[in-house]
């Protein structure tokens, strides 16, 4: 006799199957959904881990979280850490400034010059040239 690790409610099963039918869900959510369905079918943690492509401990954790919180376990909880200081609008302004003409007396923007100018313009209160570098690195812009 196979062990039943979880028992989905009819509403949960319907919701999960509708998520899979959409085909436009994140991979981590799809894995969790698939694991829940396989666990309900009576498969072991080892079998489900092999099917889904995660560790046995991960499957066990998902089963415990489903029992405790229901389908809320499909969504990651906010992670601890420092919140973002610079928002998307500010990042866009910094990128636009980097793509503009360099100030008089300069051939092109340097990272330090950009950082100083961004603070002077009041786009942000404080920024390092390395943060400017990280912002520009995430774009496909070429500052030359």
Q: What is the pLDDT of residues 12-44, one digit of tens each?
A: 999 998 888 887 888 899 999 999 999 999 899
How large is the C-alpha radius of gyration of the chain?
Answer: 24
- List, for residues 58-108, the tens digit of each pLDDT value: 999 999 999 999 999 998 888 898 887 899 999 999 999 999 999 999 999
Report pLDDT for 21.
Answer: 87
Give the CA angle between residues 49, 55, 58 to the nearest 5°.
95
Per-residue H/E/C for 48-72? HHHHHCCCHHHHHHHHHHHHHHHHH
Assess whether pLDDT exceeds 50 at residue 129. yes
Sign of CA pseudo-dihedral 64, 47, 33, 78? positive
Q: For residues 104 and 69, give the distance between their C-alpha atoms in angstroms, rounded to a whole number.
A: 60
Sign of CA pseudo-dihedral 46, 47, 51, 52? negative
Assess whether pLDDT exceeds 70 at residue 141. no
Assess whether pLDDT exceeds 70 at residue 143. no
Q: For residues 103 and 113, give the distance between their C-alpha atoms in angstroms, rounded to a whole number.
A: 9
Position with higher pLDDT, 90 vs 6: 90
Report pLDDT for 96.
Answer: 94
Report pLDDT for 1.
Answer: 43
Q: Tokens standing for 16?
A: 């999960």
Give the CA angle between residues 100, 103, 106 to the nearest 5°.
110
Report pLDDT for 2.
Answer: 59
């Amino acid at each position: 006799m196979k062990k039943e690790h979880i028992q989905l409610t009819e509403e949960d099963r319907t919701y999960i199957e509708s998520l899979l039918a959409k085909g436009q869900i994140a991979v981590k959510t799809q894995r969790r959904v698939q694991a829940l369905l396989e666990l309900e079918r009576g498969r072991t943690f080892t079998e489900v881990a092999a099917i889904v492509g995660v560790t046995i401990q991960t499957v066990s954790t998902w089963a415990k979280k489903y029992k405790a919180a229901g389908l809320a376990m499909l969504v990651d909880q906010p992670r601890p850490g420092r919140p973002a200081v610079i928002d998307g609008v500010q990042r866009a302004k910094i990128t636009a400034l980097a793509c503009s003409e360099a100030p008089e007396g300069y051939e092109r923007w340097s990272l330090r010059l950009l950082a100083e100018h961004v603070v002077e313009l009041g786009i942000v209160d404080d920024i390092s040239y390395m943060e400017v570098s990280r912002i520009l690195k995430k774009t496909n812009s070429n500052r030359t």
